[in-house]
Structure 1
Amino acid sequence: MSKEIKCVVWDLDHTIWEGVLLESSHVTLKPGITEIIHELDRRGILQSIASKNNREDALKKLREFGLAEYFLYPEIHWNAKSTSIEAIRIQLNIGLDTFAFIDDQPFEREEVKSVHEEVLCMDAVKYRELLHLSRMQPKRLTADSSRRRLMYIENMKRQQEEEIYEGPKEAFLSSLKMKFVISEAREEDLQRAEELTLRTNQLNSTGITYDYDELNFFRQDPNHLLLVCELTDRYGSYGKIGLALIHKRAEADYLKLLLMSCRVMSRGVGTVLLTHLMQQTKNAGKRFLAEFCQTDRNRMMFVTYRLAGFKEVDQRGDISILEHPLEKLYPFPSYMDVQVPESVSRS
């Protein structure tokens, strides 16, 4: 089954606008293109540029059209467009199988397809069909969806400041004034929770996805605990970026699912959530076990478990059962204000 598109990469000449910019500065936008770009943005689909053009001239023209802000990490130069798409992928940290590339030139589409066969390549003449494709229609639209581009822009500012910051990394992280809130999922969180299971691949402990109704069942079932996490700092909110599902049994707590957005990978929040869960289990005098299923992309999650001190104790088909001895638990990092409502601490 094809995945939802997370990023649309546009060519410029004869794609977003009519004409060739190098031949004339009087290019005009294609009919309806502005509305399409706005709608993709509203749906939480990121957008970028891969164009063979003079960078400054192209960006100036996009600013004149009021569209420059919609394109993250634009690649405007004379290199191969497959190279441009790979550069955008690295910056956005999402899979190539969630990319779409739109270009009027068959050669450019074939060049991209020959290197990145997972990318959906479309002829620019079909641009009006874009919004109607099933892969361009997210199953759920959430508050985080509509802010996705802005959250990436906020993150760019963080990265730029981190690059020029002179001093220890912990001092920089402390300067961000991060607040990490762990709370029980409410009904209004379920659309975002479902979206997280569908979109998160690298930091998903099992690769299993849950739909709205399944998550709502777990939210209400007294034998399960469904937690969501939100991270904010002085730049703004990262949104709801984490999810944990725990099956509570008399003798042990089973972590059925742990996932984190890749956007916060470098902030250490996965370990913070794990530490909270393990501390609650230790206080209850029970064992703490976690399920892990290796996929083609979630090795980082396995590394997180191993570094935290988990050992494999059983295997059930493709599922590894890991256990933590709970003897030594590390405190929350000093640079982060971790907030856990009392109701969660008692769960």
Structure 2
Amino acid sequence: MSEPTVKCLVWDLDDTLWRGVLLEDDTVTPFERVREVITTLDSRGILQSIASKNDHDHAWPRLEVLGLAEYFVLPHIGWGPKSASVRAIAEQLKFAHSTIVFVDDNPVERAEVAHHLPEVRCYDAVDVPGLVGLPEFSPAIVTVDSRQRRQMYRAGFAREASRADFTGPDDDFLRTLGLEMVIGRASEQELSRVEELTLRTSQMNATGVHYGDATLRGLLTDPGHEVLVVAMSDRFGPHGAVGIVLLERHAHVWHLKLLATSCRVVSLGAGSTLLNWLSDQAAAAGVHVVADFRRTDRNRIMEIAYRFAGFSESDCGCVHELVASGVEGVERLHLTPLRHPAPSTLQLSAPDLASVTLSS
């Protein structure tokens, strides 16, 4: 079984990122190829952080002088156990431990992290030059959004800090963000991001089914299918492409084959906004909605979103129009759609699917 693709590499500093110990030498410089590894992984959308036993007020300025500080999110530079630092980084990023990698020259530190966080992969510092060539550090798809992932996460942290300072209900805070959601038909240039969402999104993925580039390209030219990409932005910056809706339209029923949204926008109401919009469009078109759902060990939150939107096991009697999913464990949830008002916490721009008719 192949290793999960790495989402975040956590660096030690002394004798790992740079040669020597900072407290003994203020002029430490990075090892050969370290800068190349950092910039290459950043361009692939792999986040990077730090877990180092050091004086933060001493180490961070050195990283700034070296021109490397900008590449790290959520750095933990202090004197606590490195396993605690790695755990905190994973929790703040909302990443599974199996997608985190820790690199350190000290075998004792690697053992300490491995003992407390057995799913985190640990590498010796001597392995650093070869990391970019390993399959787990080579995402199958690299998109425009991948290349700005670090900036989007930093904007997210600023957004969270603003929320912490805000007193009042969540909806009132969301209204201060100037949120915009754009739902649009996918272009060929966007297919790589659509495919990436089916690969990387697990908690807010209704089926966990991966749709490859060839399949998606075929659906783009099929008049019976809608391949929709969801993008969001606010006053802190773009969230990028954060969702995908794969819909097959029949005369009396719309078949929601896949709904997936990034975990980063769950708290912004992205999932409920999408489902309410789809229900409104289906009600206007006078059709029933059937959604594929397959339980996984991580997508319980998506099931809750479907149930909250009104999906249930009640059969509408129109399933005969749909072909079998062909995927083991897929069940079909049914929705009698209702009209919904425009969302109150964001500005929504979306196509009018209800105006597209199909013959019986």
TM-score by length of 2: 0.91
Q: Distance in 1 between matches of 2:161 and 2:40?
A: 29
Moved more, 83-92 or 246-255: 246-255
SS state at 1:30 partner: coil
Contact 1:272–1:332, Cα closer than 8 Å, also in 2: no
Question: Hey, what does 1:67 align to over in structure 2?
Answer: 68
| Aligned 1:303-314 pairs, distance under 5 A | 303-313=304-314
| Aligned 1:320-339 pairs, distance under 5 A | 320-326=331-337, 328-339=338-349
Q: Distance in 2 between matches of 1:329 and 1:117?
A: 48
Question: Hey, what does 1:200 align to over in structure 2?
Answer: 201
How far is 1:345 from its partner? Answer: 5.0
Runs of 4+ in structure 1 deviating by more than 4 angstroms, as ranges, are 314-317
Q: Distance in 1 between matches of 2:355 and 2:95?
A: 36
Q: Distance in 1 between matches of 2:161 and 2:46?
A: 23
Question: Hey, what does 1:253 align to over in structure 2?
Answer: 254
Cα displacement string for residues 141-189 of structure 1 (whole angstroms, at most 9, x for unaligned residues): 2110110000011111111111112333222211111110111111111
Q: Distance in 1 between matches of 2:136 and 2:342?
A: 40
Cα displacement string for residues 225-273 of structure 1 (whole angstroms, at most 9, x for unaligned residues): 1111100111211001000111222331111110000111101011111
Question: Hey, what does 1:91 align to over in structure 2?
Answer: 92
Question: Hey, what does 2:222 align to over in structure 1?
Answer: 221
How far is 1:222 from its partner? Answer: 1.9
Q: Distance in 2 between matches of 1:170 and 1:117?
A: 39
Q: Distance in 1 between matches of 2:354 and 2:284?
A: 10
Gaps of 5+ in 2: 316-323
SS state at 2:348 partner: strand
Query: Which amino acid in 2 is paired with 1:322?
Result: L
| Aligned 1:278-317 pairs, distance under 5 A | 278-313=279-314, 317=328
Aligned residues between the structures = 345
Q: Distance in 2 between matches of 1:107 and 1:332?
A: 56
How far is 1:93 from its partner? Answer: 1.2
Moved more, 14-23 or 109-118: 109-118
Contact 2:76–2:85, Cα closer than 8 Å, also in 1: yes
Question: Hey, what does 2:28 align to over in structure 1?
Answer: 27
SS state at 2:313 partner: strand
| Aligned 1:24-63 pairs, distance under 5 A | 24-63=25-64
SS state at 1:213 partner: helix
Query: Which amino acid in 2 is paired with 1:121?
Result: C
Question: Hey, what does 1:346 align to over in structure 2?
Answer: 355
| Aligned 1:101-250 pairs, distance under 5 A | 101-250=102-251
Q: Distance in 2 between matches of 1:345 and 1:10?
A: 51
Query: Which amino acid in 2 is paired with 1:323?
Result: H
Contact 1:275–1:332, Cα closer than 8 Å, also in 2: no
Query: Which amino acid in 2 is paired with 1:141?
Result: V
Moved more, 168-177 or 254-263: 168-177
Question: Hey, what does 2:329 align to over in structure 1?
Answer: 318
How far is 1:329 from its partner? Answer: 4.4
How far is 1:30 from its partner? Answer: 0.8
How far is 1:81 from its partner? Answer: 1.7
Contact 2:208–2:296, Cα closer than 8 Å, also in 1: yes
Moved more, 10-19 or 59-68: 59-68
Cα displacement string for residues 263-290 of structure 1 (whole angstroms, at most 9, x for unaligned residues): 1110101111111222222222221111
How far is 1:114 from its partner? Answer: 2.1
Q: Distance in 2 between matches of 1:101 and 1:216?
A: 37
Contact 1:204–1:258, Cα closer than 8 Å, also in 2: yes
Q: Distance in 2 between matches of 1:190 and 1:279?
A: 26
1:15 aligns with 2:16: yes
Q: Distance in 1 between matches of 2:181 and 2:74?
A: 28
How far is 1:321 from its partner? Answer: 1.3
Query: Which amino acid in 2 is paired with 1:320?
Result: E
Question: Hey, what does 2:319 align to over in structure 1?
Answer: none
Question: Hey, what does 2:277 align to over in structure 1?
Answer: 276
Q: Distance in 1 between matches of 2:119 and 2:333?
A: 33
Q: Distance in 2 between matches of 1:140 and 1:243?
A: 16
Cα displacement string for residues 171-214 of structure 1 (whole angstroms, at most 9, x for unaligned residues): 22111111101111111110000111111111000111111111
Contact 2:230–2:243, Cα closer than 8 Å, also in 1: yes
Question: Hey, what does 2:3 align to over in structure 1?
Answer: 2
How far is 1:330 from its partner? Answer: 3.8
Q: Distance in 1 between matches of 2:170 and 2:207?
A: 31
TM-score by length of 1: 0.95
Contact 2:283–2:339, Cα closer than 8 Å, also in 1: no
Question: Hey, what does 2:320 align to over in structure 1?
Answer: none
Q: Distance in 1 between matches of 2:74 and 2:354?
A: 41
Q: Distance in 1 between matches of 2:306 and 2:350?
A: 22
SS state at 1:306 partner: helix
